[in-house]
Amino acid sequence: MSNTGKNRVRRALLAAALGAPQLAYAAPPYHPRAIVLTAFPLEFRVWQATGRYTHTVRVPGLPRPMICNTRRVCVAITGEGEINAAVRTTAIVRDPRLDCRATLFIRSGIAGGVQSRAALGSVYLANWIVSWGFGHHYLTRSGHMAWAPPRPPYAHNPWDTLAYRVAPGLLSAAYAATRAMPLSDSAAVLPLDAVLSLHKHPRVYEGANVSGDDFWIGRQNQRIARHIVALYTHGTARYATTAMEDLGDIAALAAFGLQHHYLSVRAVSDIDVPPPATSVGAIIAKGDEYAGALAAGNAYLVTRRIIAHLVLHKP
């Protein structure tokens, strides 16, 4: 054995005797090109069933492993609600085996919609993510919300951000790639579109996402949502969908300077007011996801198109 080899052996034996840790050569980090964030099995399964995923990443804190294909497009399930979304998006970003500095994050799932607008199954790309619950407002005895002055800037306030604007350039590119694409429709849903005075066929739109964890329905709550969006975006956005995770996503990404790497793709599965001759109580008793499968499928189609054009650069 050469002197060099003997010296290496001596150093290794000395380190072992002294209890010093041996240097470990870690594998290079995995660089996801896109990560699709889903909330629950209905949204996750449509991806799982329509792609070939050859790689899994077990991120501590996620309810199941993240699945990835050979193009480094991954799909994660975060669980429902803002807290789960924020905690688990943070877990992904902070995992030392992942390098997400150039990753596009896309929340893809279902949402509530606004009456007299988009057909069930239509897809909205969020231009703003607006907080429903964290708004410095008071709920009065009559059920209305009231705001006490003064009113500080609501967007991108480091202490209590109530509204995040989605990166305009990224949003514009995503909308240009999807605005004219055909979406799936359902014969079972068309009669309800007519009853609710909705457009006849699903399309892709832009609009503000109202993000909150509690379930609500009814015209009074719609008025509040409309007012919140107008107030927090200074009149630049219009309330279009309601969902539960988006504020958690973008707030977590903003903490690491990645908020401009985020899109929200939401398909309308229900409307935030009851159909005619149906009470709010009846909706609360039986639920209101009239078009959940249709919406999850259309969210998948639009998200896949965005990834193809913006990430994989496929026409």
pLDDT digits (tens, 9 = 90+) for 3-25: 555 555 555 544 444 454 444 44
Classify residue 151: in a domain, yes or no: no
The answer to whether residue 174 sits within a structural domain is yes
In a domain, 207, yes or no: yes
Residue 226 lies in a domain: no
101 part of a folded domain: yes
- Specify the CATH number for the domain of residue 127: 3.40.50.1580
Both tokens of 129, joined, read: 């993510």
Q: pLDDT exceeding 70 applies to what percent of the chain?
A: 83
Q: Which residues contact 221 (CB under 8 A, 6 or more apart)?
A: 272
Q: How far apart are CA 175 and CA 41, in angstroms?
A: 26
Pairing of strands 163-165, 123-131: antiparallel
Q: Which domain holds residue 181?
A: 27-135+164-219+238-311
Could you read off the pLDDT of 282-307 as tens digits, one per residue?
766 666 657 999 999 999 999 999 99
12 domain-assigned? no
* Residue 295 confidence (pLDDT): 96
Strands 204-211 and 239-243 turn out to be parallel
In a domain, 210, yes or no: yes
User: Low-confidence residues of the chain, pLDDT below 50?
Assistant: 13-18, 20-25
Which pLDDT does position 210 carry in this prediction?
A: 96
pLDDT tens digits along 72-112:
999 999 999 999 999 999 999 999 999 999 999 999 999 99
Q: Which residue has the tokens 């150093």?
A: 11
- Written as one string, the DSSP assignment of 142-169 is TS-EEEPSP----BT-SS---EEE--HH
Residue 302 counted as domain residue? yes
* Count of domains forming the chain: 1
User: What is the pLDDT at residue 158?
Assistant: 66
